[in-house]
Amino acid sequence: SLHTVTTMPTERQPGCPFDPPKELIQAREHGPISRFPFPDGHEGRLVTGYDLVRSVLADSRFSSRKELMRHHPLVDLGEIEVPPAPPGEFLLMDEPQHSRYRKPLVGRFTVRRMRLLTERVEQVTAEHLDAMEKAGPSADLVTAFAKPIPSIIICELLGVPYEDRGFFQEHIDTFLGGEVGDEELIAAYTATQQYLAELVVAKRANPTDDVLSELTDSDLTDEELRGVALILLSAGFDTTANMLALGTFALLRNPEQLAALRADPALTDKAVEELLRYLSVAKTFMRTALEDVELGGQTIKAGTTVILSYATANRDPERFADPHTLDLQRQDGGHLAFGHGIHQCLGQQLARVEMRVALPALLNRFPTLRLAVPADEVALRPETADIYGVKSLPVTWDA
Ligand code: HEM
């Protein structure tokens, strides 16, 4: 009979900020798929093993449609009706709607396009390191470095005018930071949506050199473009920011690995992939079965909601040798940190450029970089946050 996970964990083990919650690791030890009774009574499933997570992601019988996600892993929502995703918000759509939005974007996010951005990422990174150094010898790495770099890049990509940056960044910080109550969150979300709606109209009137302006040439409506912009923003900012800060924390806690990276800059690309695997900041997503599906010897009934744990899939000992060790030299690639299948991260090349530039630049600039507080005092996001990470990372260095 199937192992049952009775509640989704809301915290990680004290002292293990980089490891998925022990309940999920233990679930995977019982087998790659578990029963998960949702708080509203829905008989769901939790998939924790690499092969099965990957096969669900590759299977069009499992849907990403928002209106089918009626069961919350932690809260009994009762009999609520969930509306479909607003126009343009393609992360929560299936084909053919999904492709209508994703297709015109793909050419803007190729490896080649993103390499062209490298120089700009280098500039922005250097500016922030200069400011850090000037204000130092200590800083909160989150506010001084990890957040502003991806935030400026996404603003430039969307074509947010320079004079609006402060206002815009504040709102997206509030609505993605997960640190405020519902009312404030909805207010920040609404303000962001409103701003993007106005931005779309402005780009149509006066196209500039950015993704949004280019998309005004497609057959997407203003409302759809606003939705696309919102998805790019919400998928692309907080994820990368948390990888930069949590990634630095993980390196500082693994001094041998850090020394190896400092000694050999050619290790950077591999190091970034390993940090993505090891940290899996985008840790869980859900899908709903559209019909009965055989999965790992079980029948998943039509209508069943399935929680996919990318974080434990990336720590699966059947896929990765010594999975709980951060090993920047690791040979077994193929992590699921960017997902897989039709929704696989559109911005992964951009995220890679940002991490490959910013992390080594930080280490070069501050050869004596270290935590300014004991490691167990670093404030982590709760497991309930959509994206995992540190709230702040106090660091210091020899001036
Ligand atoms: C989708 C992770 C950075 C844009 C996804 C998914 C994951 C992910 C796991 C798949 C979700 C699913 O299976 O339903 C990450 C991580 C990042 C990152 C870990 C940073 C290290 C970015 C950036 C952008 C971006 C920089 C864009 C500027 C998107 C978009 C989707 C997506 C648009 C939806 C794709 C679709 O539905 O077809 N990301 N992402 N991401 N990501 Fe990223």
pLDDT tens across the length of the chain (399 residues): 799 999 999 999 999 999 999 999 999 999 999 999 999 999 999 999 999 999 999 999 999 999 999 999 998 988 889 999 999 999 999 999 999 999 999 988 888 888 888 999 999 999 999 999 999 899 999 999 999 999 999 988 888 887 888 877 788 778 776 667 778 888 888 888 899 999 999 999 999 889 999 999 889 999 999 999 999 988 888 899 999 999 999 999 999 999 999 999 999 999 999 999 999 999 999 999 999 999 999 999 999 999 999 999 999 999 999 999 999 999 988 999 999 999 999 999 999 999 999 999 999 999 999 999 999 999 999 998 889 999 999 999 998
Give residue ranges with CB within 6 A of ligand 1.
Answer: 64, 90-91, 102, 154, 231-232, 235-236, 239-240, 243, 281-282, 285, 337-339, 343, 345-347, 350-351
Residue identified by tokens 């909601």 is 305
Pairing relation of β-strands 305-309 and 284-289?
Answer: antiparallel
Using alpha carbons, list the distances in angstroms from residue 81 to 68, 77, 85, 259, 365. 9, 10, 12, 53, 52
DSSP line for 304-317: -EEEEEHHHHTT-T
Tell me, in angstroms, the distance from the centre of ligand 1 to residue 398's CA.
37
| Those residues with Cβ within 8 angstroms of residue 163's Cβ, 6 or more apart along the chain or in another chain | none
Amino acid at 151: S
Which atom of ligand 1 is the closest one to the Cα of 341? Answer: 13
CB 10 within 8 A of CB 74: yes
Tell me, in angstroms, the distance from the centre of ligand 1 to residue 102's CA.
12
Using omega within 30 degrees of 0 as the cis cutoff, is the peptide bond preceding 96 cis?
A: yes
Which atom of ligand 1 is the closest one to the Cα of 310? Answer: 9
Amino acid at 196: L
Beta bridge partners of 282: 387
Tell me, in angstroms, the distance from the centre of ligand 1 to residue 134's CA.
34
Which residue lies with its CA nearest to atom 15 of ligand 1?
338
Tell me, in angstroms, the distance from the centre of ligand 1 to residue 373's CA.
32
Using alpha carbons, list the distances in angstroms from residue 16 to 12, 310, 381, 391. 7, 18, 13, 16
Tell me, in angstroms, the distance from the centre of ligand 1 to residue 344's CA.
7
Tokens of 41: 């009574």
Tokens of 122: 């280098």
